[in-house]
Amino acid sequence: MSRPSIAEVSALIADLAALCQNRTSAEYAALMARKADLLERIATHTPGDAEAAEVARLARERADSLKSAG
More confident residue, 54 or 19: 54
Tens-place pLDDT, residues 23-69: 778 888 898 999 999 999 999 999 999 999 999 999 999 999 988 87
Spatial neighbors of 62 by CB under 8 A, at least 6 apart, are 32, 36
The model carries a pTM of 0.75
CA gap 63, 34 in Å, rounded = 8
Question: How buried is residue 8: exposed, middle or buried, by Cβ count under 10 Å (0-12/13-18/19+)?
Answer: middle
pLDDT in tens, 3-18: 888 899 888 888 888 8
DSSP of 15-28: HHHHHHHS--HHHH
